[in-house]
Structure 1
């Protein structure tokens, strides 16, 4: 897994073979063959690991937040900040997301509850839940890619969160307020309560 994480950001996925992973890991080819039958299985495992690591971190920091819209904002901003501080991790995530159906499922598991809560709370208005999940994930990954490839964008995490919230039906004013809240663990005042209006 560590070898695959090192290789994915720097190699075209089409160029990676199982023996490439084995060489990078310093193990015999048969070791990789015992665990994975194809390159796509390795990429899916990497994708799941990347997504689950950050999703669990996000879930931990936002567990005291009741608002689905606020939790989604925290998730988008956390992924964006990870893109800013760890471009190799982000490139690996973006490289494998197209190939890893399981990774999209893992992200959807974390996102679905926030979307449903935001809809019950009257913040989100969308016609199709699966489409809403796909849109939120795709928009966040696209914003992460822009940040990694084009360099620093001031307040990129807040801009991305605000735009995703608006796409899900949150009013521009409220989306701006939610996206501008300090992240849990950031700043002096916690203030993580449901945003009214």
Structure 2
């Protein structure tokens, strides 16, 4: 737009060249707008496929999903699916990561005012469990996908790495391996979700799971119990 405005101030004898530059600039803007529309359309289609895959996972489990079944569920051609995912494993991982990342952003927002790594970690564990309590389809999809997608486990671990490091620096956590600690937290959280989906829900299920995970990470008994029972941030 700045280019177009500056062109309008040029002398009349330069009119012909100015008109060409205006046309070129307009074409550039149209091309950029078209590119943006194309990206938005691709994003919408990918989101449509992800949502369809989540429905299939929740109903039938990840092992039964095929790209052809995904196409039928999403109401698109089989060729469209292959434009986004070359294999079932790629689709499985993409869906799982999207599922975890979307909710992880919400959890990070909840924890923004907390300086304690142990408290932030507990908020994350409890929030995931409570989300699954409120939405069994979401919880079922998460548990089924996490079994098969290594990328999903990595994505979840990446969000908790800073909390684990902070907790260790603050003297609350004691662990020999950060990678093992992250795997344990992911496994403990998804295991707690699985048990409640199977009808084995405890009273204060989220707090009980968070306390057990904190204890496993080395937090002292009384402190682990207190942190696990703190009111969740609004």
Same fold (TM over 0.5): yes
Quick check: 1:106 aligned with 2:160?
A: no
In 1, Cα distance between equivalents of 2:162 and 2:61: 34
Higher helix fraction (1 or 2) = 2
Tell me if structure 2 keeps the 8 A contact 1:84–1:152: no
Q: Is residue 139–residue 164 contact of structure 1 (8 Å, CA) maintained in 2?
A: yes
Task: Provide the C-alpha distance between the structure 2 equivalents of 1:55 and 1:78, rounded to a whole number of angstroms.
Answer: 9
Give 2:131's aligned residue: 82
For residues 160 and 62 of structure 1, the distance between their equivalents in structure 2, rounded to whole angstroms, comes to: 18
Two-structure CA RMSD over aligned residues (Å)? 0.9
Q: What SS class does the counterpart of residue 20 from structure 1 fall into? A: helix
CA deviations over 1:7-44 (Å, ceiling 9, x no partner): 10111323211010000000000000111011111110
Deviation at 1:151, TM superposition (A): 5.0
Structure 2 residue 104 is matched with structure 1 residue 55: yes
Q: Note if 1:153 corresponds to 2:205.
A: no
Aligned length, in residue pairs: 185
SS at match of 2:99: helix
**SS of structure 1 residue aligned to 2:174:** coil
In the alignment, what sits opposite 2:38? Answer: none
Residue of structure 1 aligned with 2:188, choices 139, 147, 158: 139
Structure 2 spans left out of the alignment, 5+ residues: 1-49
Classify the secondary structure of the residue corresponding to 2:86: coil
2:206 and 2:61 mapped to 1: Cα distance? 27
Larger Rg: 2
TM-score (norm 2): 0.77
- Please state how far the C-alpha of 1:53 moved relative to its aligned partner: 1.1
What is the CA–CA distance in structure 1 between the aligned matches of 2:105 and 2:181, rounded to whole Å? 21
Q: What pairs up with 1:178-193 in 2 under 5 angstroms?
A: 178-185=227-234
Q: TM-score, with normalisation over the residues of structure 1?
A: 0.91
Where does the alignment leave 5 or more consecutive residues of structure 1 unmatched? 186-197
- Offset at 1:175? 0.2
